[in-house]
Amino acid sequence: MRTATQVREGEVPFGIEEIFFSRTDGRGVIQAGNSVFQRVSGYDWDRLINAPHRIVRHADTPKGVFHLLWERIKSGRPTGAYICNSSSDGRHYWVFAVVVPVADGYLSVRIKPTSDRLEKMKALYRELCQEEAAGRTPPDSAAALVASVARLGFPSYDSFQARALASEVDRRTAQVGGRGGASAERLLGAEAADGVEAELTGMQAMFTDALRIALNLRIAASQLGELGRPVSAISDNYALLANDMVSWLNNLALDEKAGFGGIARSVAENLFLLNAANLLQEMSQAFARDGMLEGVDAAAEQSRLNDAAQQYAAKALECQDRATQEVAAVAGHLVEMRKHVTALNSIRMLCRIEGATLRHTGVSLDEIGSQLDGFQDEIGRRLQRITRLGQQVLWSTSLA
């Protein structure tokens, strides 16, 4: 127990070049660590070893973060998160933690976060902590966290953790050197993959709106009576093509296995695992030089770190190969998309022509024609952006 005189305020200092390590069993009980972890936590080795990892938990990290972390790693998914930890004297320290499953538990390596994203996450965590204090459960808090990072522009938590880790590694490498390697170009590729997914999601909403334009055409046709038959046919064809496009987007373009959704996942996983493997390898090398260990088999821990680094580097390459194959497959999807858009443009022109022939009736199609013009122009811009971003993804997946 801490006494009142032992409790201090403020942040525990440590260097950006330092790296934390701890290993737990499957229940989260600490089995080993390095001297950085021991020193910054403020606990003696006999307090750390065989203690639950929550011994360093700080109240400024929402329970929802840990719920999400545990749900992911228990299912075998390496996970990264911003974490505020507590030292034995009550001070705090922020880390970006990477936790990877291994055969007998979990390994965690942690670095000092220095990117601009940290302040955004602190603000988000304060909101989540307040909501938990008001009664929100950890599972609901975890869901709110995922929804919040989506509003920040990340289509999934996988995307968030990959780009966050890459940013932190890049900042760290720029300041102290060391092993970077997996970040700058691949980060651009991950951002581009997320951008394609965002463009396609926006396109879904646009084609749903296009169905309302078709409805307006049908209303105009009903006002024209017999003269409205051509307009009615135009409306039916436009609605049919718009529905086909929505179905195509749902079932192919954004499919998690065969479309752009799968590419975004594969590219993010590749980026995250490469950086995680590099940090595990760096930690292994640092562990070999660590002379402040008590009751820890340094050689055995270094071997575990080496094995994990190799394992996750190999998985990263598998993700890269998968993304390359997915990019090639999606090239055909883009051809299909352009065919749909060309067909819709032809219908738009028919609407303009028919509108001109009906001016004497007093029923104007000008406003609907303007809506179709704006729709086609925006779709064209989105297609250009998707093509450019797709080329960026293709380039990033070709990196050795």
pLDDT class for 2, splitting at 50, 70, 90? very low
Q: Quick one: pLDDT at residue 193? A: 84
User: What is the pLDDT averaged over residues 173-202?
Assistant: 77
| Res. 128 pLDDT band, cuts 50 70 90 | very high
Question: What is d(CA 174, CA 111) in angstroms, rounded to the nearest whole number?
Answer: 14
* H runs (alpha helix) in 104-228: 117-133, 138-151, 157-176, 184-224
Instruction: Tell which phi-psi region holds residue 324, choosing left (phi > 0), alpha (psi between -120 and 50) or beta.
Output: alpha
**What percent of the chain shows pLDDT beyond 70?**
92
**Residue 255 confidence (pLDDT):** 66
The confidence band for 259, taking pLDDT boundaries of 50, 70 and 90, is low
CB atoms within 10 A of CB 202: 12
**Given a cut of 60, is residue 179 above it in pLDDT?**
no
Predicted pLDDT of residue 44: 93
pLDDT at 357: 81
Structure tokens at 81: 């998160």
Determine the length of the chain.
400
Q: What is the pLDDT of residue 95?
A: 98
Q: For residue 112, which amino acid is it?
A: K
User: Does position 178 have pLDDT exceeding 80, yes or no?
Assistant: no
* pLDDT tens-digit map of 277-292: 999 999 999 888 887 7
Is the pLDDT at 295 greater than 80, yes or no?
no
Question: Residue 54 is encoded by which pair of tokens?
Answer: 């929550």
**36-43 CB contacts, 8 Å cutoff, 24+ apart:** 37/110, 38/292, 39/14, 39/292, 40/12, 40/14, 40/87, 40/93, 41/85, 41/87, 41/88, 42/12, 42/87, 42/88, 42/89, 42/91, 43/88
Pick 119 or 321 by higher pLDDT. 119
- Check if the beta carbon of residue 253 is closer than 8 Å to that of residue 247: no
Question: H or E element: which one contains 382?
Answer: helix 366-397
Q: Is the pLDDT confidence value at 76 over 70?
A: yes
Strand partners, 11: 92
Helices (H) and strands (E) in the chain, counts: 11, 5
Is the pLDDT confidence value at 350 over 70?
yes
- Where is average pLDDT lowest: 303-312, 354-363, 375-384, 388-397? 354-363
- A 10 A CB-CB count for 14 gives 16
pLDDT given for residue 261 in this prediction:
66
Tell me the pLDDT band of 4, cut-offs 50, 70 and 90. Answer: very low
pLDDT score for 157: 95
User: What confidence score (pLDDT) does residue 3 get?
Assistant: 41
Does residue 354 come out as left (phi exceeding 0), alpha (psi in the -120 to 50 range) or beta?
A: alpha
Highest mean pLDDT among 5-19, 94-108, 195-209: 94-108
Q: What is the pLDDT of residues 88-108, one digit of tens each?
A: 999 999 999 999 999 889 999
Task: Report which of residues 98 and 354 the model is more confident about.
Answer: 98
- Token digits for 368? 């609907």
> Residue 383: which H helix or E strand, with range?
helix 366-397
SS3 for 127?
A: helix
pLDDT of residue 399: 67
Q: Specify the pLDDT at position 252.
A: 65
Region 212-227: what's the mean pLDDT?
83
> What is the pTM for the complete model shown?
0.82
Q: Which DSSP letter does residue 102 get?
A: E
User: Token pair of 168, please?
Assistant: 């932190």
Q: 183 pLDDT exceeds 80?
A: no
What's residue 330's pLDDT? 67
Q: Is it the case that residue 1 has pLDDT exceeding 60?
A: no
CATH number belonging to domain 1-152: 3.30.450.20
- What is the per-residue pLDDT for 221? 81
What mean pLDDT comes out for the span 205-230? Answer: 83
- pLDDT averaged over the chain? 86
Region of 7 on the Ramachandran plot (φ > 0 left; ψ -120 to 50 alpha; else beta): beta
pLDDT at 348 over 90: no
Domain assignments of the chain as residue spans, ordered by start: 1-152, 184-397
Give the helix/strand (H/E) hosting 93. Answer: strand 92-102
